[in-house]
Copies of this chain bind each other. A is one copy, B any other.
Amino acid sequence: MNALPPLLYEDVVRRALQEDLGLAGDLTTDAIVPSGTRAEALLVAREAGRIAGMDAAVLAFRLLDPGIACELRAADGLDVEAGATLAVLRGEARALLTAERTALNLLGRLSGIATVTASVVRSLHGLPTRVVCTRKTTPGLRVLEKQAVRAGGGFNHRFGLDAAVLVKDNHRAIAGGIGEAVERARRGVGHMVKIEVEVDTLAELQEALSVGVDAVLLDNMSPATLRQAVRLVDGRVLTEASGGITPANAREIAETGVDLISIGWLTHSAPSLDVALDIT
């Protein structure tokens, strides 16, 4: 996959390092390992999974020693087996030891998201349905987590509140109806902004279709209702199923014919992938 420009995430990595180093730095390593000691270290996966976050992880080491040499064995988007070497790093032993935890925290979390996403994507094999993430990301890590979802084969819903209109129940209630809410949105935003509306029932779906939107979010509908909704829409707008979707029921939902299924779980509850740094 294409890499992100470091400008988008280097502050995240720098802050993560500073959080771990505090004021006094790595007391243990500074006391035990002399400056100038060279070492080689392997980034390894302790369990099988889909990799994401390699660039951010490597940057953690480089922020402590710009001279770290890194030989990449895996890239974002790759599936690896347990025990696989992801990268070989050579440089200041102190930098390798001090940045280890920061790098692993980033790599483990992001690969965890990619791994879960990939497993859901795989479960939809043969179906055209796209798996998309939500805004339920870890505060401060959205840009990296959205990238991890793409590494897992998923797609990104809007990055933030500024990226598209999504009319939810509260907006409808305040505006006094779907029609009025969508109308206000269309008048208020630029021509390059898409509009999606959340609907809970087929009646609401009908109303949304009648006012003209780009996509409908079918919230918490049963597979049977989703099927009806897809028939009703009949290809006129994108259909997105949402609410309570898990790896377990994703295929059943996708088989209803919706274009997209969105899963907050991918980013807010994916367990970390077990990765480690082995000094050789």
A32 within 8 A of B: yes
Stretch at the interface among A82-90, A159-167, A202-210: A159-167
Q: Chain B residues near A109 (CB, 8 Å)?
A: 138-139, 268
Pick from B97, B139, B215: contact of A15, CB under 8 Å: B139
- Contacts A136-B101, A136-B105, A272-B268 given: A31-B184 contact, CB under 8 Å? yes
Docked-complex contact B161 and A162, CB < 8 angstroms: no
Q: Chain B CB within 10 Å — which of A3, A159, A171 has the most? A: A159
Question: Contact flags (1/0) for A241-280 with B, using CB distance below 8 Å?
Answer: 0000000000000000001100001001101100000010
Q: Which residue of B lies closest to A173 (CB)?
A: B279
Partner of A194, one of B25, B142, B193: B193
Chain A interface residues toward B at CB < 8 A: 2-5, 7-8, 12-35, 37, 39, 63-64, 93-95, 97-98, 101-102, 104-106, 108-109, 112, 130, 132, 135-143, 146, 155-168, 170-171, 173-175, 181, 184-185, 187-194, 196, 214-215, 238, 240, 259-260, 265, 268-269, 271-272, 279
